[in-house]
Structure 1
């Protein structure tokens, strides 16, 4: 169980370029291949932990495996997070509960259930605030901003993203800053402020470049590509969407691939 938890965590760190420990796998390709081969065993471990009263493994291993399952489009990911949230609540793990609720909110966001997404993110934010967890607050605020942007509430979206950005800056979290800037850029794009959208995304790209975060780079390529398309620079837009597609394919990011193909189509 501990082996799988450590290796899944290491694999995700390698793929996302957020390494906090010595990697157990040599590179992103090896990490992705390992996850694809072993994820059924990891899921079996989760079921074993749930049925044998190992609640901390349920919470921690679900959190570690979640990014891979989301990228792969695994259909039962919401049920895993619901179990993790309930398990964390039962053992008094407020951090684990808040994290699982925030993940549930993101899943509802990507499936278009914006009301449910808002509810989960708001519950996560309240817990993070009670805990004094500023990083968790920033992540939940950023997620709430994305949801509000999808329902055309651009003023609220801007406020949430700006609050998240301020927290990430205070914490020195450059990856969080880049994500908030990218999201702010999307809001400006949706309101047809293409100059501001470009500037925000270029700031995000500089941070992602410095971090070596390829998924973040791909996200910005997509955003800048859509801006260029809307301003009539079709060749440059296609080039950026092709670059996003290549990165998404390398990372096994099916959502990213779909977005890039949409831009190219």
Structure 2
């Protein structure tokens, strides 16, 4: 009664406001301060010891009132228990608050709670091994999702120090394994040499502990270390299949999906497309069932890339759009950069240059933000080729120069590709190749991966054509075609056939040139590859003896060229395109 009288007096004095809602009816009336300054003054007037008592009572009241919804109120509980001096419960609720935020993809918010939990532990709050595994593991994963890989590495190094100081073998294994993983995937810390050393340490610890889950992860990491090194596909497949065998045996579905997601790419680079497709499909089903949205988006983008290689450009766009929608919804910049970058490839093949340029530009910028190396490199290489195709090689050179100055990639796959593409654009623009470039066509290896091989090979072909080494250009085109044809990759055959025909015409081998153009046309028409058709048709018309048939080919080319001209986003690109010899001969204005 005394309390109620005091509350009524404070309401009359306009210090408090009575508040009662339908939700509060079972709890009695509620009161709030009318002004924050009044509340702060009242709070500060309490002795420190009494404040702690108030915070504890508030926290315990929350625990009772919301016993079925503690995760929703974990952040508030963590705050009040921390202010009450109950560090143990503050730690527990900070971890729960971080988990709750991660569950709704609020990664930045989750990091705030995990950071508070870490501060408690560093300050001496007692924590059992399970809590430390949870804290460092979840905090590290959140940092990785934010593309803060160096901070994640620092987190795992601190985790290892805690483990060694406390002689906790499971914690040490988790720390070494996490550091291994950072050096096994494409990011700024990729280092297969150091990664293998860490993997060997982790494997020894895992075998001592009989930890099969960790063994599956370690072999997965070894697969990825080999996967991103040139010529190690067989080693990668062996490690991946061993990882998959362990994960299936222990029923770890999430790890099965992760391994399948990655081994599919290794199968592709080895020409084992049926096995790769099956792996992607199984992984995609698992990701949907598990509700793992970031990995579902990654899988969809991977699937779209495969569809491009098989000539299904519209099907690829469907995959990329779903991946981008998911990544945008969960605020995953990495996924946004990946899906946008690769969607540009599909639009390029369809002759949609406006969308192509936009996707490559935005996708690579998002990849910069996310620290996604593949998304930083490959879209820019492809954008340079788009500019070359449209008669603006100087713009392609600018792209490659900026890329070579800004990307210090640690991935061996990319080094020869970047060097030869830059050299090609330098020479096309009348410049000497970069000092120190000592490349050779023999350096171009399909085992680098088909995407890297494609642009490295085409760059050498462009260089050979530009310098008049026509026989070598034809030979390299034939090799390129054989590699792609041998693996049924339609989209990457047509460029080489187009370049081969140009060299063959200059060599006077017109019949052979016409055969290459006819095949390129048939392939391009079969998959809707309009960017190839507008280049092939005028050349084929020149080699067609029947006048009416030749004119029909030119008319078809003119229609596609007009569409290209109308969609180009700048006057500079339109001028470059209209100045191309084949476009001028068609008479397009």
* Interval containing the TM-score (normalised by the shorter chain): 0.7 to 0.9
Secondary structure of the residue aligned to 2:311 is: coil
For normalisation by structure 2, the TM-score amounts to 0.39
**Contact 2:342–2:379, Cα closer than 8 Å, also in 1:** no
Partner residue of 1:139 out of 258, 271, 286:
258
Partner residue of 1:62 out of 165, 172, 176:
176
Who is 1:13 aligned against?
A: 142
Q: Does 1:107 align with 2:225?
A: yes
CA drift of 1:133 comes to: 0.9
**Contact 1:148–1:157, Cα closer than 8 Å, also in 2:** yes
Larger Rg: 2
**Contact 1:9–1:64, Cα closer than 8 Å, also in 2:** no
Partner residue of 2:323 out of 197, 200, 204:
204
Q: Does 1:42 align with 2:161?
A: no
Q: Does 1:90 align with 2:208?
A: yes
CA deviations over 1:83-112 (Å, ceiling 9, x no partner): 212321221111011011112111211123
**Contact 2:337–2:363, Cα closer than 8 Å, also in 1:** yes
Higher helix share: 1
Gaps of 5+ in 1: 17-27
**Contact 2:149–2:188, Cα closer than 8 Å, also in 1:** no
Counting matched residue pairs gives 250
Q: Does 1:228 align with 2:347?
A: yes
Distance 1:135 1:116 in 2: 23
Distance 1:207 1:257 in 2: 21
Equivalent residue runs for 1:145-224 within 5 Å: 145-224=264-343
State the structure with bigger RCO (CA 8 A, min sep 6), 1 or 2: 1
For normalisation by structure 1, the TM-score amounts to 0.81
Partner residue of 1:80 out of 198, 204, 219:
198
Distance 1:32 1:114 in 2: 26
CA deviations over 1:131-154 (Å, ceiling 9, x no partner): 111111111111221211222322
Gaps of 5+ in 2: 1-117, 123-131, 385-589
**Contact 1:181–1:203, Cα closer than 8 Å, also in 2:** yes
Secondary structure of the residue aligned to 1:72 is: coil
The change in CA–CA distance for 1:246 and 1:11 in structure 2 (over 3 A counts) is farther
Distance 1:222 1:171 in 2: 26
**Contact 1:145–1:161, Cα closer than 8 Å, also in 2:** yes
**Contact 1:12–1:68, Cα closer than 8 Å, also in 2:** no
CA drift of 1:53 comes to: 6.6
The change in CA–CA distance for 1:251 and 1:7 in structure 2 (over 3 A counts) is farther
